Structure 1
């Protein structure tokens, strides 16, 4: 992960590394010419299980020793950005937060992978049609809007997020677990793509 430094003398971010010796780094400010030395903290290589919906991948995060990691924190890997969902200590104990050196395994979801959530469409006769859809994590959804999924048009009546059930308002896809509503006639505001699995989504990149 790339490091950024600020000159303690003038506050400039135009700083270059002029010498590295182990964890000791010599820096120079290109604005005022000030030179100083810092010592980087020791890092611990922690296993992290990264979820991309139904698929999981084991990777490693290099984290500063002594730092506290909490559920909900976002950790940057070389090729991904991961939100921590669970922290496992030796013996399988799960906790909400822990020091880096205490952690056996981190569990998280990839934030570079699109958001996948459920859609429940209520049809006449007590029938419910369910789908999983894939959307951009920043996309917003509003209670009351009309959407098409898998050939069905429905009005969003409830949005279930990871924290609550909403009957009004809006939410970003990143926080949504499920959209729910009755089938309606008419034109949809937008059409969502049905999620067909990790392999199908990855194959679209090539």
Structure 2
């Protein structure tokens, strides 16, 4: 609702609420003295299923009924930020965007929970060693870098993101689904932590 607290006369954000009556609010600008009224949008309490990798939690978001929500949007909850992954309408229909008043449930991914993605390391003899690792969402990975996971050192040859398979370039952990590459001998640039489940992270915090 921040946009409602900007003075329409001078653009100042030094605004105070001087009267409230239901959804009708009277505001006063402390810079120019302008007084005006607004009617806040009607809110709907929408269930949000928040994913923290293998665990999911039911939360609620209060959103303006006439607002449109789409896949990829970030919704602020009381104690979390959630990226919308799917929108469910009555009857179980899944859509990529909808008006809040039409939505039955929002499915999303917690952005305060570390990123968990897969790592596939190709060993001699056609063997593949797979891990799940946990990293900060802002961490970047580059094709060609050398990484250690679970005692194995490998060179990143491909990065699979939510949208494409990369054979060159870099990507943020937040968008990565899997790293892939062959095991090599040598010194790793960094060592990644193997993900041991939701409970293990809670014990650390």
TM-score under structure 2 normalisation?
Answer: 0.96
Give the deviation of 1:25 after TM superposition: 1.3
1:49-88 equivalent positions in 2, closer than 5 A? 49-88=49-88
Give the deviation of 1:136 after TM superposition: 0.7
Give the deviation of 1:87 after TM superposition: 0.7
Alpha-carbon RMSD across the aligned residues, in angstroms, is: 1.1
- Gaps spanning 5+ residues in structure 2: where? none
Task: Give the corresponding residue for 2:144.
Answer: 144
| Aligned-partner Cα distance in 1 for 2:90–2:105 | 8
- Name the SS for the 1:125 alignment partner: coil
Greater displacement, 157-166 / 186-195: 186-195
1:37-87: CA deviation from partner (whole Å, max 9, x where unpaired): 111000011111000000000111101011111111111111111111111
| Aligned-partner Cα distance in 2 for 1:121–1:16 | 58
- Gaps spanning 5+ residues in structure 1: where? none
Task: Give the corresponding residue for 2:168.
Answer: 168
- Name the SS for the 2:82 alignment partner: strand
| Aligned-partner Cα distance in 2 for 1:147–1:28 | 57
Give the deviation of 1:3 after TM superposition: 3.7
Give the deviation of 1:193 after TM superposition: 0.8
TM-score under structure 1 normalisation?
Answer: 0.96
Task: Give the corresponding residue for 1:183.
Answer: 183
Task: Give the corresponding residue for 2:98.
Answer: 98
Give the deviation of 1:124 after TM superposition: 1.1
| Aligned-partner Cα distance in 1 for 2:14–2:147 | 48
Is the aligned partner of 1:193 residue 2:193?
yes
Give the deviation of 1:104 after TM superposition: 0.9
Give the deviation of 1:28 after TM superposition: 1.6
Task: Give the corresponding residue for 1:89.
Answer: 89
Give the deviation of 1:18 after TM superposition: 2.1
| Aligned-partner Cα distance in 1 for 2:181–2:18 | 60
| Aligned-partner Cα distance in 2 for 1:99–1:27 | 28
Task: Give the corresponding residue for 1:34.
Answer: 34
| Aligned-partner Cα distance in 1 for 2:151–2:17 | 57
